[in-house]
Chain A
Amino acid sequence: MTEIFRHKFTFTFAVLGLVMLLFIIWPLANMIFSSDPGTLWDTLVEDEVREAIWLTIYASLFATVFGLLFGVPLAYLLARRNFPGKKIIEGIVDVPIVVPHVAAGIALLFVFGRNSFLGEIFHVMHIDFVGEIAGIIIAMMFVSIPFLIDATKEGFKSVDPRLEKVARTLGASPAQAFFRISLPLAWRSILSGSVMMWARGISEFGAVLVLTYHPRIASILVYERFESYGLNWSRPVAVLLILVCLTVFVVLRYISQGGQRK
């Protein structure tokens, strides 16, 4: 009886899981396979499309690099130290996940817009955010940084703190213990978090739309073509964006998880 129950149980869960997988795969596969290769090629050779895809990729890459620079230290402190308000800070880090992205864009506009205090300071340094690539980068960074910080924090948590302690007794400074021991041992989690952050940045639309409509990133180009010319015009761009992202995503995930396979 238990066997039958277990069998039925597994079967039911497998069917339910399959529905979810189809829900993810079907629309993407349908769009990719129903596209005419010739049209895809014609779209790819369009300057506007190539530039939009390239801009999306490297803006998100810059966002990830800044995320690493400022996010990894925060993730390390959250993983290693106990201090008052730590739970609150952990909550704050995840806020961008729940804030509607258009609202996030508006919030960023208030802080980094030309009439704001910070906007003024950056303007003096010849950095403007509205209608500029810098705006795309901060919008992407805002919405995608939780993925990097959370993954990195878990990575550091999984490194035995006594490894650092031993390193200290062997003459390593806190920085040396970090760079020689904790960072190399947590790098897969950091890379995995970076991939997630980068991928999330690429897919961003709402926050970027508010800050920088031009130059256009790929998702805005898709939206614009859909609005102006309809489905057939927007689909090839969407397909190309999906293909490029999937390729890079699969390769990086393979690298970042390779060492954990036994």
Chain B
Amino acid sequence: MIEIRDLSVDLGDFNLKDVNLHVQSGEYFVILGPTGSGKTVLLETIAGLYPAKHGEIWLDGQEIMKLEPENRGVGFVYQDHVLFPHLKVMDNIIFGLRRQGRSKKEARSEVAWVVDFLGISHLLGRKPETLSGGEKQKVALARALVMEPRVLLLDEPLSALDPAGKEKVQRELRRLHERLNLTVLHVTHDFEEAVSLGDRIAVIGEGRIRQVGNPEEIFHKPGSEFVARFALARNITVADVQDGDDGGAFAIVGETRLEVLTDLRGKCHLSLRPEDILVSAEPFKSSARNSFKGKITRVLDKGSILYLTVSVPPDLICMVTRRSFAEMELKEGGEVHVTFKASAVHVF
């Protein structure tokens, strides 16, 4: 278990301020944030590689802030692997055990399980420069895992990989986490990576933790505009939310009255995900409370998916498959109907 209390770190240009996090034992916790938001420094501070201004870091009930990195019991894997280039793969993996005074022979037998687990026995005699990105990442993981760390810190472990390698390593990480019951703290700027791997996600921006929750909450109930934009919600606006006639609520956006489900009133952020909007050529009869006719003002082609800007007004960004677009004979400038549930509009 990791507990971070009021951690502040001076980064020169900006600061990490009052970071509070609680990561359960065995949890896969993802810290999601844009590049330059201080994610790597946060991990380095936990590992003792970067000095903190103040705050506390507890690991399994022990305050580790004053401990040297070598005594903290954390494993660290960097984005671009950072293998020791002058050592062969095996010597990279046994590096930590050798520092604990094990003989080469002892260390080699001790790491056999990790080597088998990650399927890298054929790489042991090679130099890091001859490995692919995915192989390097596995070796870097093996090197950290043999030390049986209390927490594994992963700094953008997938971002230096090509799509195929990324998928493989992602599967590997999930398998590792499940089988070894590891506590993992993984930082990334990739929302999909965070959703796919994280039990819980903390969104970090401009040096502060903006929201902590499970992927569902972050995805559908972003707590701020920053989080919503980061969570890929494309329809975000500010509107005045008022009491509706039947105990519900509505918001006036542009000239359109949107039915929403919320207890909040007054000036609020609204977000609506493109995939929650149903697009149809004819009016669509359903229980959904919001149904409007609009004009397609722009079509953004993303291959198998098209993003349509539909002016109701307001302008709503909707998503349709290429096939539906063709079947409904939609075109830029043409008319279209959009339908979405009141509950699809997230108010915050």
Contact = CB atoms under 8 A, between A and B. Distances in A.
Interface of A: 160, 162-163, 165-173, 176, 180-181, 184-185
A165 B100 contact: no
A163 B86 CA distance: 11
Given A162-B78, A163-B84, A169 B49 contact: yes
B75 interface: yes
Contact of A168 (B70, B85, B143): B70
A171 B99 contact: yes
Interface in B95-129: 95-96, 99-100
A117 to B, nearest CB: 40
Interface of B: 44, 47-49, 68-70, 72, 74-76, 78, 82, 84-86, 95-96, 99-100, 143-144, 147, 149
10 contacts: A163-B82, A167-B95, A168-B69, A169-B144, A169-B149, A170-B96, A172-B95, A173-B70, A180-B95, A185-B85
Given A162-B78, A163-B84, A169 B69 contact: yes
A176 B99 contact: yes
Given A170-B99, A171-B99, 8 more contacts: A165-B69, A170-B95, A170-B144, A171-B147, A173-B70, A180-B95, A185-B85, A185-B86
Contact of A181 (B84, B144, B147, B149): B84
Given A162-B78, A165-B49, A166-B78, A172 B70 contact: yes
Residue in B70, B72, B74, B149 whose Cβ sees the most chain A Cβ within 10 Å:
B70
Interface of A is mostly: helix
Nearest to A176: B99
A166 B76 contact: yes
A181 B82 CA distance: 12
Nearest to B47: A169
Nearest to B155: A162
Nearest to A159: B85
A101 to B, nearest CB: 38
B96 A168 contact: no
A95 to B, nearest CB: 30
Q: Which 9 A-B pairs have the closest CB atoms?
A: A170-B96, A168-B69, A169-B76, A171-B99, A165-B49, A171-B96, A171-B70, A162-B82, A172-B99
A169 B44 CA distance: 10
Given A170-B95, A171-B147, A165 B70 contact: no
Contacts of A162: 78, 82
Contacts of B143: 166, 170
A172 B85 CA distance: 17
Nearest to A169: B76
Contacts of A165: 44, 47, 49, 69, 76
Contacts of B70: 168-173
A34 to B, nearest CB: 47
A170 B48 CA distance: 12
A58 B70 CA distance: 42
B259 to A, nearest CB: 53
A184 B84 CA distance: 10
A165 B143 CA distance: 13
A160 B144 contact: no
Contacts of B69: 165, 168-169
B82 A170 contact: no
Contacts of A167: 84, 95
Nearest to A160: B82
A168 B48 contact: yes
Nearest to B70: A171
B95 to A, nearest CB: 5
Residue in A165, A169, A181 whose Cβ sees the most chain B Cβ within 10 Å:
A169
